[in-house]
Structure 1
């Protein structure tokens, strides 16, 4: 049965479903969701790419940051790098090569990959087979034992299911998905209590803007708590596109940030190509910071990807980028016309 038909059956049985439930099924339904299907392609052949697809430059620079963090922790022998959603395995390959192969590092670093798609895991295993014994796979962060080290979230939070809300007559409504002759359509229902509480806390000014529509990502809150619980000591490196609270819910941004990617084209209709297109929303870094601190983390850093990456580029690293012909790819990571300003970096610590 096609995913669209599965969702239709659920709506027929249970009635309209909130948008975050629809988005969760569209992206993560076993074997049929966008991120769980067997033929998911990422990079040039797929619907999107991340910084790790621009050659080894991203992994090179992150390796330097990881070594600095290892030093700040007192250079412990027990040290793990954990990557959530590792895609095709490029970033893991680049980091492992830099930390273990090029330097012939004798430290007992381990690399944990959290991958929900067994087909992608097979691809990663093939790419990383020379590091057998150093790399370990898990299908959920909950399966990890307590660890210390660095955890990498590279464009993870933007793919969490979001709630979509709309303001009508100073009241908050949520978008639910229902059927209209076997096609998905929307209806507004009074918002759930925690949706209303979120807006009252983070964006009360939008209650005055009739027709204002945007998203909230409450799934980040529980996920950050889980990370804190699993980590004995260490750092969390977060890379994603997003804004501060005021930028996200500005008066000018009345339609939110929800976008869909299908075969390298962009659209704003999440009800097309069910299970075949990516659905994303920007990250509210103000909310993420607050929830991280409530979980127990310190927030050490929040700035643009451009400033973060440039701050790590000393003369030897720039010479290496030049020698390996990576300067143009580096520019795509740091220039405003590339990913330099659209993407933000947040570093959390538990020491």
Structure 2
């Protein structure tokens, strides 16, 4: 099964939510905005999908001002814009919704990527999937088992490392995660490995001392390998909806995020949560996941996502 097929199937709950609440999307844009019930239905559908009120208002304004005649096409354009940070939004507005404006393969900005998030979102498994993804593109990869608190977390990452042929730097269970990160960053620099993914312990975003620990991990990585980590990616479970956005804000305050990975989109009708994440944090979605398999985590493409959401084929050559 292709990625696009899995993505369409994974977004089926969100699609059903939109279709049931939004009414007839085949109508003419101008006609739609002469009927109050149509606008209210569309507004309700977007808010029910966890798009958020502020973004919903912007989307409706963009739809109303669209050059498109068909309501669904105008809505797809507006959603695509909302799924991009400001610079990319400007690019889409300038170039239009063309293949030339689409995102390329996701490449980290440097050599070290910290992976953060609350308990139970699947950070360790996500790291394994990221390792497999980048290795398939010719990158050398290392893992750091920085979750020293969860029982057997280091062993779990070590199993993934052995399975993938990836070196894993570990410390004692219950040990200092910053020490593990320091050793791993030092080893990566010495070996010239392309990418190091640093696992971190899951933590509630409301726990101040644990968020301070994340800052410490980031500082010691920079001491071992100046300028790193160039990226901090938050793993977020889509099922958490608006609660996930609150989590993201707290992590962003503690250690500025450069990207978000959204998992379990197949388990929720709240796929619209991606929009407030991008709009309110100002950081891009890097990867999305719609299943447990290694290939069920793929780079995020806003146009691809919106087309899959509405079950519209992507034109060949795009």
The TM-score range, normalised by the shorter chain, is under 0.3
Which structure features the higher share of helix residues?
A: 2
Which structure features the higher share of strand residues?
A: 1
